[in-house]
Amino acid sequence: MRGNMSIVAIFIATITFQMAINPPGGVRPIKDDGDKDADNTACYNGYEDLKLCPGNAVLAIVYPDDYADFLFWNTICFIASLSVLLLLMSGIRLSHRFTMWLFSISMCFTLTSLLVTYRIAILMVTPDPVWADNEVLLSTLLRIWIGLFSFSGFLLTLRIIIWGISDFVKKGECKKATTPMMIAPA
């Protein structure tokens, strides 16, 4: 289990890191302003008086709100996958139920944030007429995924609560059984 989880977490961390370095829509190249001066890498005004400098994400200027959402969810996904990797590398035993619950919830959250990042990325790079035709389908699929995530999280949480209660009851019964009985004087 440790190997499978680490492979998935590394893969997700790689994807999210790459999306941050090479965002959807690309970045402005160093020399694209048509200036004949080869050393001119000046920034130029884009939309809403924001400057697009070489190396900056193009869609950060075109869709600043969507790009901020993309960065937020991409960062959440990256940090969550790195957190899972850190916990796996720390040597925490996976045989304990609470640990497995924590890892399962973390991976569910990581995958959900990856899905939200994907949706925002395709929203920014898909032309509006194409997006309008498929928006209902994609929104429905996202809702189904979030419902599945919520249901899985509920079942995982319910299972850990039942385990905790049964473990508590068993420990209470063990204490009762090992307590010496008072013998009445004869």
186 pLDDT tier (thresholds 50, 70, 90): low
Which of the pair, 155 or 176, is modelled with greater confidence? 155
Rounded to an integer, the average pLDDT of 65-86 is: 92
Q: Are 88 and 9 in contact (CB under 8 A)?
A: yes
CA distance 73 to 181: 60
For the stretch 119-159, pLDDT in tens is: 888 888 888 788 778 888 888 888 898 899 889 889 988 98
pLDDT of residue 69: 93
Residue 55 has pLDDT above 70, yes or no: yes
Residue 183 has pLDDT above 60, yes or no: no
Among positive and negative, which fits the CA dihedral 143, 144, 147, 149?
Answer: negative
Which of the pair, 103 or 47, is modelled with greater confidence? 103
Helix (H, G, I), strand (E, B) or coil at 183: coil
143's tokens? 């809702």
Q: Give backbone dihedrals phi and psi of 159, rounded to 5 degrees, phi first.
A: -65, -40
DSSP 48: G
Q: What is the pTM of this model?
A: 0.70
For the stretch 100-119, pLDDT in tens is: 888 888 888 898 899 889 88
Based on its alpha-carbon atoms, the radius of gyration of the chain, rounded to whole angstroms, reads: 26
Give the contacts of 106 (CB within 8 A, at least 6 positions apart).
Answer: 80, 83, 84, 87
Q: Is 81 exposed, middle or buried (0-12, 13-18, 19+ CB in 10 A)?
A: buried
Residue 184 has pLDDT above 80, yes or no: no
pLDDT of residue 146: 87
pLDDT mean across residues, the chain:
80
Which of the pair, 40 or 78, is modelled with greater confidence? 78
pLDDT of residue 179: 53
CA distance 75 to 141: 22
pLDDT of residue 1: 62
Rounded (10°) angle between helices 64-89 and 97-125: 150
Q: Give backbone dihedrals phi and psi of 153, rounded to 5 degrees, phi first.
A: -60, -40
pLDDT of residue 130: 80
Q: Is 94 exposed, middle or buried (0-12, 13-18, 19+ CB in 10 A)?
A: middle
Rounded to an integer, the average pLDDT of 159-166 is: 86
Q: Domain segments of the chain: what residues?
A: 2-29+39-172
